[in-house]
């Protein structure tokens, strides 16, 4: 005996119950009917206002002395590559740099324990300025992203890929990172004489 061939049925649709079917309750019928939008009720959309510091992609608030927000892993990588943070920043940007550390970054360094005590000692240096955090939680990445979106005057120093990806979405914020045992900068306007990498 031969096998029966199965023929594919094309354009087969799932059978749906008609809305006028007696098995559907009155309540369910009303839910399934689409309501037409009322033209008198206007929908209000929240669009984030563009910063007044930006002239297209050119950030007018950036300029010497540069204010640089430092991330936890940036300090760790600087120690591994035996780089003095403030001096290397000045060598990269050819201008005075003021490194800033938020409370969240300090809390993250303290949580890491004895292994990162050198990084903590560097972060407590008097050349680094502290920025107080008023938000809930101590997640440093969210803190840095929030601060940079509010104030466009900072450069973010990080080696974290996820944080870099998040900051690239914010227009007018340059990113400083480590490349070939020296600091490099990304998305810096040419007007400030930033080194080409």
Domain count, the chain: 1
Range of the domain at 149: 64-186
> Is position 86 within any domain?
yes
Higher per-residue confidence, 166 vs 190: 166
Residue 14 pLDDT class (50, 70, 90 cuts)? low
Mean pLDDT to the nearest integer, 55-60: 72
Residue 159: which CATH number?
3.40.50.1010
Higher per-residue confidence, 2 vs 63: 63
> Is position 87 within any domain?
yes
The pLDDT score that the predictor gives to residue 60 is 79
Residue 74 pLDDT class (50, 70, 90 cuts)? very high
pLDDT of 184 > 80? The answer is yes
> Is position 110 within any domain?
yes
* Secondary structure (H, E, C), the chain: CCCCCCCCCCCCCCCCCCCCCCCCCHHHHHHHCCCCCCCCCCCCCCCCCCCCCEECCEECCCCCCEEEEECHHHHHHHHHCCCCHHHHHHHHHCCCEEEEEEHHHHHHHHHHCHHHHHHHHHHCCCCCEEECCCCCCCCHHHHHHHHHHHCCCEEEECCCHHHHHHHHCCCCCCEEEEECCEEEEECCCHHHCCCCC
């Amino acid at each position: 005996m031969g096998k029966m061939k199965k023929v594919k049925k094309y354009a087969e649709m799932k059978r749906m119950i008609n809305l006028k079917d007696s098995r559907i309750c009155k309540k369910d019928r009303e839910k399934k009917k689409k309501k037409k939008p009322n033209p008198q009720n206007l929908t209000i959309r929240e669009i984030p206002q563009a910063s007044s510091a930006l002239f297209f992609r050119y950030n007018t608030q950036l300029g010497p002395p540069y204010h640089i927000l430092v991330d936890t892993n940036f300090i760790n990588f600087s120690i591994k590559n035996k780089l003095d943070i403030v001096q290397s920043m000045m060598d990269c940007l050819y201008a005075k740099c003021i490194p800033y550390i938020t409370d969240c970054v300090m809390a993250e360094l303290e949580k890491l324990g004895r292994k990162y005590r050198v990084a903590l000692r560097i972060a407590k240096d008097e050349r680094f300025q502290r920025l107080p955090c008023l938000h809930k939680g101590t997640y440093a990445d969210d803190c840095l992203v929030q601060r940079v979106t509010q104030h466009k005057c900072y450069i973010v120093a990080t080696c974290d890929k996820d944080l870099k990806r998040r900051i690239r979405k914010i227009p007018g914020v340059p990113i400083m990172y480590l490349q070939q045992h020296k600091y490099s900068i990304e998305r810096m306007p040419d007007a400030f004489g930033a080194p080409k990498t």
